[in-house]
Amino acid sequence: MLRKIPAFLNRLIGRDNGATMRLPEPVIIPRDQHPISRKQISRAALNVLYGLHDAGFEAFLVGGCLRDLLTGIQPKDFDVVTNATPEEVERTFRRARIIGRRFRLVHVRFGPEVIEVATFRALGEADESDDDRRHSHGGQILRDNVYGSIEEDALRRDFTVNALYYNIADFALYDFAGSMDDIKARRLRLMGDPATRYREDPVRMIRAVRFAAKLGFDIDPATEAPLYELAPLMGQVPPARLFDEMLKLFLSGQAQDTLKLLQEYGLFDALFPATAEVMTESDQRLLEAAMRNTDRRLAQDKPVTPAFLFAVLLWPALRARQALHLDNGMPPAVALNKAAGQVIAEQVSQIAIPRRFSSVVREIWDLQPRLPRRHGNRAGQLVTHPRFRAAYDFLLLREEAGEIAPGVGQWWTDYQEADEDTREDMVRALGKTAPSSGGEGSGRKRRRRRRRGGGGSGGAG
């Protein structure tokens, strides 16, 4: 029975969406044969599950939370599915609110926690995004009823490891697709025929990478094989959908592995075409250093701003574009500004970067050529710039990657730690060397705080 799922998924998700559907029967794993205990489930999620159950509805936990619990990871959130309609869910709880338009979900609040409750979803709609379309790829309207049975809900899910259900009625797990085996084997397998499922929703390709990196799971060969060829389909995903997925990708705590996998499958090229086209070895080192840095910060519970990530990911494209303008005789600052506008405008047609982030990206870039110019009262002003810290971190990465010679970064490290008098000394010590005009620092050996002048030419790089 279970072996047949891929075949009939194909049939269902293909043209004939209806009459003769055969649905998988779950393997039911009773409470005494699996390790998930109610103690591991959040209070709010239990309240929602019991609330629905007491009101006479079916209620299950589903997806990532079960996968994580079985893998020994603390789930970020607990998702609930039910046969109650959104209206019925809303009526069942005091603090519930329907969200979404086409496929409506209910947010139920208990204290600080919000539990997302979805009604079992029917098969037949290809598009996962929350818009008002109800069309297949051919454009014909599929069906009006978006709600279905638990079997249909299971078939719609992406990976088998995300298609496990926990029934609050008897605490049993419902496994429709060999999910338990795959979780145990740490194996990512798409539900159904992989190529079909990727075509249906290319975002599943980057989800494969995200889960592989985050969980350390292997991508099953049949699920992996189509990635190489289908990666360009990423270009067709509505940009609005990609920003959130992008953040989840790079903020999973495993950004280094994520980058590697994205590049291996050609997904990086599809997501960041302008950067991919011009990547040099030092760019590659910059991106890797940035991912390492991001993972380290997350491990230390330090904040990571999406703007910083995009500043890094688009930097190679920016530099290449700026170089073109410089070749055409544009002054550096003008060239930078123009290139920044162009690179961001092109990227947002791929991934919708909200303006509140893209403006910060531009500030980080804009500060790069300014950081080496520390004369007079410039250093004192720069250090109070709201983006100074991000720009300084960025400069350190560029030095680490060997894009620019080290020196300026260390100077700023010292400057930030120094008291007022020392700071003045540091700036005075710069006096003997001319301010850098090229914006790339002097490329000289690191200058120590107390060193004065140092006789040589004032050679800015």
Catalytic residue among 68, 79, 153, 220: 79
158 is catalytic: yes
Q: How far is the CB of 80 from ligand ATP (least distance, A)?
A: 11
In 10 A of CB 134, how many CB atoms? Answer: 17
Distance CA 398, CA 411 (A): 15
DSSP assignments along 300-350, one per residue = TT----HHHHHHHHHHHHHHHHHHHHHHTT--HHHHHHHHHHHHHHHHHTT
Residue list 63-122, contact with Mg ion (CB under 5 A) = 64
Please report whether residue 158 would count as binding ligand ATP according to CB under 6 A. Answer: yes
Q: How many residues bind ligand ATP (CB under 6 A)?
A: 12
Window of 59-67, 285-293, 390-398, 405-413 that interacts with Mg ion by CB under 5 A: 59-67
Residue with tokens 């109800």: 134
User: Residue 197 or residue 214: which is nearer to Mg ion going by CB?
Assistant: 214
Distance of CA 192 to the CA centre of its chain: 25
- 189 lies in the binding site for ligand ATP (CB under 6 A): no
C-alpha distances out from residue 145 to 121, 127, 153, 353, Å: 9, 15, 13, 33
Active site residue 419: no
Those residues with Cβ within 8 angstroms of residue 44's Cβ, 6 or more apart along the chain or in another chain: 78, 108, 109, 110, 111, 113, 114, 115
The yes or no reply on residue 241 touching ligand ATP (CB under 6 A) is no
How many residues does this entry show for the chain? 461
CB of 190 to ligand ATP, least distance (A): 9
Q: Could you tell me the smallest distance in angstroms from the CB atom of residue 61 to Mg ion?
A: 12
Which contiguous run of DSSP H or E holds residue 266?
none
Question: H-helix or E-strand containing 49?
Answer: helix 43-54
Catalytic hit among 77, 201, 414, 425: 77
Amino acid letter, 385: H
Catalytic residue at 77?
yes
Nearer to ligand ATP, 211 or 308 (CB): 211
Q: Going by C-beta distance under 8 Å and a sequence separation of 6 or more, which residues neighbour residue 382?
A: 367, 370, 371, 374, 388
Considering the complex, state which of residue 26 and residue 441 has its C-beta at the smaller distance from ligand ATP.
26
Q: Is 162 in the site for ligand ATP (CB under 6 A)?
A: yes
Rounded distance between C-alpha atoms, residue 319 and residue 28, angstroms:
57
Site for ligand ATP in 35-94 (CB under 6 A): 63-64, 76, 79
Q: Among 49, 80, 188, 203, which residue interacts with ligand ATP (rule: CB under 6 A)? A: 203
| Strand partners for 116 | 79, 107
With contacts defined by CB under 6 A, name the span among 201-209, 302-310, 328-336, 423-431 that binds ligand ATP.
201-209
Stretch that binds ligand ATP, among 46-54, 155-163, 226-234, 327-335 (CB under 6 A): 155-163
57, containing H or E segment: none
Q: Which is nearer to Mg ion, 64 or 226 (CB)?
A: 64
Nearest distance from C-beta of residue 203 to ligand ATP, angstroms: 5
Residue 162 or 368: the one with the smaller Cβ distance to ligand ATP is 162
Applying CB under 5 A, the residues found at the interface with Mg ion are 64
Name the residues that contact ligand ATP, by CB under 6 A. 63-64, 76, 79, 128, 156-158, 162, 201, 203-204
Catalytic residues: 77, 79, 158
